[in-house]
Amino acid sequence: MIHRGILLFVCSLIIHVALTGTYLAQAQSGVRSATNRQVPSPRSMLGFSPGEDRKIADWTQITNYFAKLDEASNRVSVQTVGRSTLNRPILAAFISAPENILALNKYKEIQRKLADPRTIVDARERNALIAAGRVVVVISCSIHSTEIVASQMSMQLAFDLATADDADTMEILKNTILILIPSSNPDGIDIVANWYRKTLGTPSEGREPPELYHHYAGHDDNRDWFMLNLEETRALTRLFWKEWFPQIVYDLHQQGPSGSRFFVPPFYDPQNPNIAPLLLRQVALIGHKMAADLQAAGFKGVITNSLYDTWWHGGFRTAPYFHNSIGILSEAASARLMSPATVTREQLARSSTRGMRNALEATTNFPDPWPGGEWKAADILKMEVVAARSLLSLAAKYRANYLRDFYELGKKNLTQITNENEPLAYLIPAGQARDEEVAKLVTALVEQGVEVFRLDHELHATFGPQVLQRTSPASERLGTYRRIVAATAGMHEVPAGSYIVFLSQPQRSNVITLFEPQIYPDRLNAQGEAERPYDVAGWTLPLQMGVEAPAVLSIQETPTDRKLTLIREGNEVRDDLSLPLKKTGRSPIANPISRPVRIGIYKSWVANMDEGWTRYIFDTFNVPYTSITDADIRQGDLSSRYDVLLLPSQRAREIIEGNSAENYPKEFAGGITEAGVENLKRFVEKGGALVCFDAACELAIKQFNLPVRNVLEGLRANEFYCPGSIVGLEVDNTLPLARRMPRNTVAYFINSQAFESTDPKVRVVARFAKDNLLRSGWLLGEDKLRGKIAMAEVPFGNGRVVLFGFRPLHRAQAWATMPFVWNAITGGF
């Protein structure tokens, strides 16, 4: 950050001249200042320009480049804000005018105050803060590592901002503080870079790597922004929502190669009803500015109002809404990693999504389709630079408006509720006998800046579970629901040691969206088929975790009579509950399996997120296992090595056939094959246990001829549809596999399975609920699911197969059904 003024003078001058004719002229970077001439260009350090065909910078190169920028430019200060899952540094480059960079602590303090209007004394102080503040903008690149171009672009954007002296750049630097995250998944940059370099010039060039690009989560690394299971989401959440409170967060992604060239907001329907309308208007304004600037710069194929919606909570771009900030997404059409792709008119004509009939047809939201041809990483990079600068320039021009809106939204959330049917708080009562779950829930809330209090003395309150109530006949294919608080009559004592989350706090909408059951609007196409939401429809966090968290309607004690302590960090909760504290690298959670079991978890070379999340849970709970691959299963003799084999959710065909040998090197092609299926069968016949999650049940049912049928197989989306929702379960807890489970619980259902069987040997552990089936989300065709088998144990030879019709560990969020997994492994004994 401190300008040293002696670096790389001649070299960078030459490179500057060389670049002017190519990329920089298009980026409107203008004249470079004398003081910043010494700032090295990416090309001078990498030996190639970011975005060049078949050239990729890995994390070490990106890190080195930013370290050099920090050293050479007084406009740039680079901080390491955490370590990744595999221990790489997570970087944040602060870019602003030199005087702002020197006063970062002052601006951080202004942000902290604006984020919590209760800390501001009066209108005069507020106005002074707004007058003095800067708009804090986050730009984050390549959380999805195969969407690689933005990580390369980050170096170019930083260089331009560090060196250009045109009026637009100077205004951006003066009025904004950019926090540039070159990648929010550094491990993935290296996974992709290593794979890409290794496969250049082979038939695998430009294809997805045969492993998850996040050690545990793969693509789901962007589904973790309220659960905070991952090191990366924890580190960045701390930076954003505990320290810097950015007004605008822009997350750059890439979509498939053959649709629109570039998506920017506004988003498609449905909107999440808890997002402040003002935020959605601001999102639209920025998106349209980006679209207009891209059009003006001559780019074709920019689309708005398509595919991506704001319903779901938990993404990089959606979490900001629940912190009163503006979340922006762009999705560039992909090349083949850093290799060019050719996209034909036929491919474009066949490409269709919500909001785009085909990629050749001009419409109001897509006025200038791209005609097809060659598509390169450099095309993506140029569009991303224009979009990023467009956003920054708008932020700079309306600096005071962004700060004022941010403050006002936080203030509005503090307004007391007047409607007596609206909760005023959510309660996490003491004594649930689910201490680890309570600790995880409260910790996740506290880590994202939600205010949670511990009751140091009992209270008296009216409260009850907030549930969905069906208001249309149960026979109807679609249900109409309303949310009610099934309140217990009269005042009840709430014991000391309970936790309470008041709605009156700056993050009010975050609390509501995490605690209340979701009601996804019925959205059908002309054929009466379900229109697919962008991600899941329901996620109510305490419900998924099996934690009771009723809504509070009234409290007898006045605020001054309540004895409450604000929880500042997760360890306080563990301390309260007498749970072990984390000391060094390992998780403090005890292994729930009481006897030694040799466990193998199947790891396909068709990268499978459910497999990664399964490992995550086993590692978190310190349950030992071995990852077993296709070759291990093909080799056989599994009984000598394992007692239990676990197949995470994956289609039978993918497990058996794997990657095609045409596209992947031999060691990653081929699947377990029919021979592997026979080996699995022998393993169970000899006494082993095969535990199948969701889609993997198909393999056992069909290949082993189990006396069980999936009744949902082959149903069309106008008969049955359930895209990521929480449903009720009725448990036979007299069975060993249901040990420690309540009679009524919930399961995560995501286009999952439901079984029927007439064989008395099939032990039915749980059925989908006959009443109150949908607990959060969306479900079309309830009658197809009601009362069907959700989980069963099927004897086979001397062993057993355990079938989970649902996702018992979904995204490491579904803690409610986790005990079933431990029971399935041990047999419940």
With CA atoms as reference, report the closest residue to 818 among 549, 603, 588, 620: 620
Radius of gyration of the chain (CA): 27
Q: To the nearest whole angstrom, how small is the minimum distance from the Cβ of residue 181 to Zn ion?
A: 14
Choose among 372, 376, 379, 365: nearest CA to 299: 379
Closest distance of CB 144 from Zn ion, Å: 4
| Closer Cβ to Zn ion, 264 or 727, answer by number | 264
CB of 735 to Zn ion, least distance (A): 42
Residue 372 · residue 343 · CB < 8 Å:
yes
Using CA atoms, how far residue 34 sits from 27, 39, 43, 97, 585, in Å, is 19, 10, 20, 15, 47
Nearer residue to Zn ion within complex by CB, 147 or 437: 147
Q: Is the preceding peptide bond at 266 cis, omega within 30 degrees of 0? A: yes
Q: How far is the CB of 266 from Zn ion (least distance, A)?
A: 19
Give 253 or 788: the residue with its C-beta nearer to Zn ion: 253
- Specify the amino acid at residue 164: A
Q: Which is nearer to Zn ion, 182 or 671 (CB)?
A: 182
Q: Where are the alpha helices (DSSP H) in 516-590?
A: 541-545, 570-576
180 contacts 139 by C-beta, under 8 angstroms: yes
Least Cβ distance, residue 143 to Zn ion (angstroms) = 7
- Closest separation in Å from C-beta 151 to Zn ion: 12
Q: 10 Å Cβ neighbour count for 459?
A: 23
Residue that is written with structure tokens 């329907």 in the block: 269
CB of 216 to Zn ion, least distance (A): 17
For Zn ion, the closer of residues 308 and 720 by Cβ is 308
Cα 24 to Cα 18: distance, rounded to the nearest angstrom: 10
The structure tokens listed for 521 are: 């609007």
State the Cα torsion 639-642-644-648 to the nearest 10°.
Answer: -110
The CA distance from 500 to 570, in Å, is 15
For helices 377-397 and 399-412, the axis angle rounded to 10 degrees is: 80
Least CB distance to Zn ion at residue 695 (A): 22
Nearer to Zn ion, 315 or 658 (CB): 315
Backbone angles phi, psi at 483, to 5 degrees: -90, 130
- Residue 188 or 670: which CB sits closer to Zn ion? 188
Buried b (16+ CB within 10 A) or exposed e, 168-199: bbebbbebbbbbbbbbbbbbbbbbbbebbeeb
Q: How far apart are CA 753 and CA 735, in angstroms?
A: 21
Question: Is the Cβ of residue 302 or residue 677 nearer to Zn ion in the bound state?
Answer: 302
Query: Which is it for the CA torsion 542, 781, 808, 143, positive or negative?
Result: negative
How far apart, in whole angstroms, are the C-alpha atoms of residue 132 and residue 482? 46
Of 724, 772, 283, 776, residue with least CA distance to 514: 776
User: Rule CB under 5 A: which residues touch Zn ion?
Assistant: 144, 147, 253
Taking the complex as a whole, how short is the minimal distance between the CB of residue 42 and Zn ion, in angstroms? 23
Q: Measured in whole angstroms, how far is the alpha carbon of residue 662 from the centre of its chain? A: 32
Residue (334 or 752) nearer to Zn ion, CB = 334
CA angle, 322 then 323 then 328, to 5°: 75
Burial zone of 112 (CB within 10 Å; 0-12 exposed, 13-18 middle, 19+ buried): middle
In this structure, are residues 76 and 180 in contact, taking their beta carbons and an 8 Å threshold? no
Angle at 355 between CA 354 and CA 361, to 5 degrees: 120
Rounded to a whole number of angstroms, the minimum distance from the CB of residue 330 to Zn ion is: 10
Please give the distance of CA 670 from its chain centroid, rounded to a whole number: 30
Least spacing, CB of residue 222 vs Zn ion, in Å: 6
User: Shortest distance, CB of residue 671 to Zn ion, whole angstroms?
Assistant: 26
DSSP lists the bridge partners of residue 645 as 600, 690
Bridge partners, residue 309, by sequence: 268
Q: Which is nearer to Zn ion, 309 or 694 (CB)?
A: 309
In sequence order, which residues have a C-beta less than 8 Å from that of residue 277 and are 6 or more positions away? Answer: none
Q: Are strands 373-375 and 341-343 parallel, antiparallel or unpaired?
A: antiparallel
Minimum CB distance to Zn ion, residue 333 (Å): 12
CB of 61 to Zn ion, least distance (A): 22
Q: 95 vs 252, which CB is nearer to Zn ion?
A: 252
Q: Which is nearer to Zn ion, 147 or 793 (CB)?
A: 147
Min. distance of Cβ 254 from Zn ion in angstroms? 6
C-beta of 145 vs 757, nearer to Zn ion: 145
Q: Kindly compute the dihedral angle of the four CA atoms of residues 532, 693, 777, 817, in this order, to the nearest 10 degrees.
A: -170
**Which one, 316 or 463, has the nearer CB to Zn ion?**
316
**CA 104, CA 303: separation in Å to the nearest integer?**
36
- Choose between 251 and 632: whose C-beta lies nearer to Zn ion: 251
Nearer to Zn ion, 309 or 436 (CB): 309
Residue closer to Zn ion by CB (options 147, 190) is: 147
C-alpha 174/C-alpha 758 separation (Å) is: 73
Task: Give the integer Cα–Cα distance in Å for 644 and 638.
Answer: 10
CA 200 to chain centre: 30
Q: Which helix (H) or strand (E) holds 128?
A: helix 123-132
Angle, helices 59-72 vs 149-163, to 10°: value is 10
Q: What are phi and psi of 619, to 5 degrees?
A: -65, -40
721 and 767 Cβ atoms separated by less than 8 Å: no
Nearer to Zn ion, 254 or 710 (CB): 254
